[in-house]
Amino acid sequence: MANLKAIRNRIKSVQSTQKITKAMKMVAAAKVRRAQQKMMAARPFTQAVVSMLKRAVSEVADIDLQGLQLLEKRPIKSVLLIILSSDRGLCGGYNSVIFRETMIRIKKLQDEGKEVKLILVGLKAAAFFKSIKIEKLKQHTNLPAIPSVEVARLIAQEAADFYIKKEVDAVELIGTDFINMISSKVINTKVLPIDLPHQEDVKLPTAETLFEPSILEVMKLELLPKYMENVIFQGLLEASASELAARMNAMTNASNNARDLISSLTLEYNKARQAGITQELLEIVGGAEALKG
């Protein structure tokens, strides 16, 4: 009977866990749809900003572009990596894959003799890199499940300031690219210095294109900041959708595993119970036979 009681308690425990994983799956499924819609809606705007920047650069001489600090290229001695992770766990191997690719990139840069600095986004990144001796310039944690433009603008401004002050010579963004509900891939996006196309590769603006107060002012005050802001915002949205999809899949697998375990434990319980009943019947029959003898 003690064994039966232990199995019953185990079944109840697994059933309680299954209720939690099912609830988390439903929450993640609801959020991932909104994150996916917001991510898909942002892609055309990001592409439009990039297109406008390409059109604007075709109107400016190379010597004039040298006055724009975000376009300044110099020997790369220090690289800033912006690492996008999650604030919460229970999303399968989502974070571990990002950290593995990040460490590969860090080792490659260090082997090239370059200094690495970090901006960490998410509690998981902060915890992972806490004991690693790499300079952390900024940390952003406890962010909304679906990122806001304000967060992207803040991170973009921080990265731009470090670049303009020549504390770093390049900025890269390491996150995930959302493919579909069951898969995503880690990507490394170059943020700074901004790579602009050769003028001969860009279609010139039409005669109706006007830039006020001037092309250089528009690029400095609007296009270049918007370019950085939207690259980072798009990265945050892709990472958010990937994380929520990974959590939904992880909770689905956990719920299925709990179901299988409950079925296995129930079968074990029934076998043990049947064995107990059989043993009691044998004892009764044996006692009856003894009384007859």
Which carries the bigger pLDDT value, residue 95 or residue 195?
Answer: 95
Rounded-to-integer distance, Cα 293 and Cα 145, Å:
78
Alpha helices in 77-148 (DSSP H): 94-111, 123-128
Average pLDDT rounded to a whole number, residues 165-187 = 89
Query: Which comes out higher in pLDDT, residue 54 or 98?
Result: 98
Write 110-117 long-range contacts (CB < 8 A, 24+).
Answer: 114/76, 114/77, 114/78, 114/79, 115/77, 115/78, 115/79, 116/78, 116/79, 116/81, 117/78, 117/79, 117/80, 117/81, 117/162, 117/167, 117/168
3-class SS string, 209-220: CCCCCCHHHHHH
What mean pLDDT do residues 129-143 have? 89
**What's the confidence (pLDDT) of residue 214?**
61
Please, are residues 68 and 220 in contact by the beta-carbon 8 Å criterion?
Answer: yes
Relative orientation angle of helices 224-292 and 149-164, to the nearest 10 degrees:
120
207 has a pLDDT exceeding 90:
no
Over the stretch 208-265, which tens digit does the pLDDT of each residue have? 455 566 666 666 666 788 888 888 998 999 988 889 888 888 898 888 898 889 888 8
Looking at every residue in the chain, the average pLDDT score rounds to: 82
91 as an active site residue: the answer is: yes
Confidence of residue 105 (pLDDT cuts 50, 70, 90): very high
By the 8 A CB rule, do 34 and 186 touch? Answer: no
Which domains, ranges and CATH numbers included, belong to the chain? 26-249 (3.40.1380.10)
Three-class secondary structure of residue 194 per DSSP: coil
Contact assessment for residue 150 and residue 156, using Cβ atoms and an 8 Å cutoff: no
Catalytic pick from 42, 83, 84, 91?
91
The pLDDT-based confidence of 204 (bands split at 50, 70, 90) is very low
Which secondary-structure segment (H or E) carries 122?
none
**pLDDT tens column, 16-48:** 888 898 888 888 888 888 888 888 888 787 777
